[in-house]
A and B are shown apart, each in its own frame.
Chain A
Amino acid sequence: MPMDANRNRDAARGKTALFVALVVLSNTFGNLALSVGMKGAAGSLFASLANAWVLAGIALLVFWTLARMTLLSWADLTFVLPVTSIGYVLNALLGRFVLGEQISGERWLGTLLIAGGTTLAGLTKPGTQR
């Protein structure tokens, strides 16, 4: 039935969009928490694991791993990588406006090239394994 096919396709798109959003947000905020924690950490790398920000970052990145593995169970790796690339731009924005990092013109251009390149790849048909 065409209507059922459309409904199934919409459901599949919705599920993919939901998991892409979960992957991007958990990764972006996980990296932010780790960055805040590591900048304030003193002592060894292992001692920094007691830092609350580092622990929050680890929790978010564990969630990120599980969400990404779930997404990879039906989507190509070469589809998942580009569509989740918006995280690079979000990280740059958070670095600039939340952490107050100085970002040079070259670094902005590099970040935009990366985001543009991965978006270009993401506009292609997801494809299937041969």
Chain B
Amino acid sequence: MTWLLVAAVVGSTVACDLLQSWDMKRHGEVHDFRPSRIAALFARWPLALSVVFMAISFFAFLSLLAREDLSFAVPATAASLVLETLLAQWILKENVSVRRWAGALMVAAGVALLARS
């Protein structure tokens, strides 16, 4: 059950982050922080959909925290970084260098180590 919850957190976090990154770039830099302007951002469908994925991620994370230590739950969900690096390169067309890839693989190794403990 623990790893099912980790998978739910990772999957929904990846979907949320890709949608937010993609649409915030399309929107452009935020200069106006009035609540009405911030609220208007969520009328954009990708950001509204990202909130749905964020809610799934949040409740899965809450369930995970109810079962596991914070010092396990937070790093275990870091597996999302590897997936997001892959998808940011393919979908968002970001330039990801070899060094950045090496970092993502170190993260994967750290997550694998947590799974053994």
Does the CB pair A124–B17 fall under 8 Å? no
- Main DSSP-derived SS at the A contact region: helix
User: Which residues A65-103 have CB closer than 8 A to chain B?
Assistant: 65-66, 68-70, 72-74, 76-78, 80-82, 85, 87-88, 91-92, 94-96, 99, 101-103
Which residue of the partner chain, among B84, B106, B114, contacts A81 with CB atoms under 8 Å?
Answer: B84
Kindly list 6 other residue pairs between chains A and B, CB separation below 8 angstroms, not including A32-B70, A45-B63, A78-B100.
A70-B30, A95-B69, A107-B71, A111-B75, A116-B103, A129-B93
Interface mask (B9-52 → A, CB under 8 Å = 1, otherwise 0): 00000000110110011011110000000100100000100000
Chain A residues packing against B (C-beta within 8 Å): 31-32, 34-35, 38-39, 41, 45, 48, 54, 61, 65-66, 68-70, 72-74, 76-78, 80-82, 85, 87-88, 91-92, 94-96, 99, 101-104, 106-107, 109-114, 116-125, 127-130
- Main DSSP-derived SS at the B contact region: helix
Q: How far is the CB of B49 from chain A (nearest CB, A)?
A: 14
Q: How far is the CB of B20 from chain A (nearest CB, A)?
A: 6
Taking A91-B70, A113-B110, A114-B110 as contacts, is the C-beta distance between A124 and B100 under 8 angstroms? Answer: yes
Interface mask (B62-80 → A, CB under 8 Å = 1, otherwise 0): 1101100111111100100
Residues of B within 8 A of A122 (CB): 103
